[in-house]
Amino acid sequence: MTEVALSEVCKIKNGFAFKSTEFKDQGVPLIRISSFEDGPVFFDERTAFVDELYIDSKKDFLVEKGDILIALSGATTGKYGFYTLDRPSLLNQRVAIIKSGRSEKLSSRYFYHYLTILKSRILEKAGGAAQPNISTKQIGEFKIPLPPLSTQKKIAAILDAADAHRQKTKQLLAKYDELAQSIFLEMFGDNDSEKISLSDLIEINPKKSEISSLDKETEVSFVPMADVSEEGDMKINQTRRISEVWSGFTYFREEDVVFAKITPCMENGKGAIARTLVNGIGFGTTEFHVLRPKKGVSTSSWIFQLTHSKFFRKQAESNMTGSAGQKRVPKEFFFKFKIPRPAYESQLKFEEILNNIHHQKFEIKKEVEKADELFNSLLQKAFKGELV
């Protein structure tokens, strides 16, 4: 199959550095790294807007239906989005726009599916630094398989159908998450109970000194940011010796809750309960806060659901410190955040309910895995020229 450099078939450009002082509550939506997650671009309560006058003065940064977006820097470098709306938006800095929707040689949907493969190449190219990044020039140099346009459209149609099936299955998982959040709010939402600081209910960033007596050659789990998902899952597939991670990494143990404190991972909901750790101990990125339940006062399930909720993350975001692109939730926020005192017995009841929900989710995840396997099989065949 013929391969061509991406820059030969479509225009690629970086976003514009709009000033945060110009953000508004309405106007033209501004696409930022938090506006997409390897899928359609979305707008929510975090979306910033700018004056509509920019549509004329910043035409080079207009995002139109069919365009592809790619994150250029930070922990989510390489993630991509597909713009499906009829009205235009504007593009912020640190995001590349690929005008595949205006190309006469490249099907936008065909290219969108190819991004699943291209993302790994982008990550490889961007890796090796504390803050990964890649330029639009480097993206343009990547070569992509380019069959005739009619063939691209046939391939895209097959992959669209397979993708729709797996997305429908994944939506069932989201429904269970919504159910868990609804029950949580019903049981622990605002009431007349005394409001106390969250720090009274949890231990924040426990000290490593509590395991200082352990043999430093003891194997423990190692969990980088990439192994914690927005859905609350934590992959335990790497190990290190304590001596290798004692300096420069965050310590946690079984049943602790890890909470991503940096942008955009915090806004996107990265966090999980640490479970099935090797020797009950884990180390991971310093970009996590570790929140530990206090015996007889709080439970891991309650802490996780609270910190995973939209209202909590919205307040956390408004208290972030640091420069643009490097903002983080300070430890002090957990002392400032006030919440009605939750009855411990209610937390235990909620944990029981949540365990039942997780059991149902586990069964659905098996179906998601099957759908993913089918899609990935078709994907590999498509870009080897074996599908049509």
Q: What is the pLDDT of residues 112-129, one digit of tens each?
A: 999 989 999 998 888 755
Predicted confidence (pLDDT) per residue in 280-299, tens digit: 999 998 999 999 999 999 99
321, 255, 331: which is closest to 289 by C-alpha? 331
Q: Based on the domain organization, do 153 and 234 belong to the same domain? A: no
- Asked whether residue 151 falls in the same domain as residue 212, the answer is no
Domain end (from 304, 323, 339): 339
CATH code for position 270: 3.90.220.20
- CATH number for 179: 1.10.287
Q: What is the pLDDT of residue 192?
A: 72
Report the alpha-carbon distance of residue 313 to residue 300 in Å, rounded.
Answer: 17
Do residue 198 and residue 334 come from a single domain? yes
What integer is the mean pLDDT of 265-283? 90
Q: pLDDT tier at 92 (50, 70, 90 boundaries)?
A: very high
User: Locate tokens 């391939």: which residue?
Assistant: 155
What total of structural domains would you count in the chain?
A: 3
Same domain, 21 and 128: yes
Q: Are 95 and 70 in contact (CB under 8 A)?
A: yes
Whether residues 201 and 250 fall in one domain: yes
Residues 167-205 have pLDDT tens digits of 999 899 889 989 999 999 999 987 777 899 999 999 999
- Confidence band of 257 (pLDDT split at 50, 70, 90): very high
CA dist., res. 31 & res. 16, Å (int):
10
| Residue ranges making up the domain that contains 114 | 3-145
Q: Tell whether 258 and 310 lie within a shared domain.
A: yes
Higher pLDDT, 75 or 17: 17
Do 67 and 85 fall into the same domain? yes
The Cα–Cα gap between 356 and 336 comes to: 33
Same domain, 204 and 180: no
Q: Among the residues of the chain, which ranges form H helices?
A: 54-57, 108-126, 136-141, 149-188, 242-245, 265-268, 300-308, 310-318, 333-336, 344-382
d(CA 225, CA 289): 12
Tens-digit pLDDT profile for residues 138-149? 999 999 999 999
Peptide bond preceding 264 in cis form (omega within 30 of 0): yes
Same domain, 120 and 221: no
Last residue of a domain, one of 298, 319, 339: 339
Segment 208-212 mean pLDDT: 95
Asked if 139 and 87 sit in the same domain, the reply is: yes
Residue 357's Cβ-count burial label (10 Å; 0-12, 13-18, 19+) is middle
User: Reading across the β-sheet that carries 80-82, which strands appear in turn?
Assistant: 12-14, 95-98, 68-71, 80-82, 39-40
Judge if 326 and 361 occupy the same domain: no
Q: In this structure, are 311 and 247 located in the same domain? A: yes
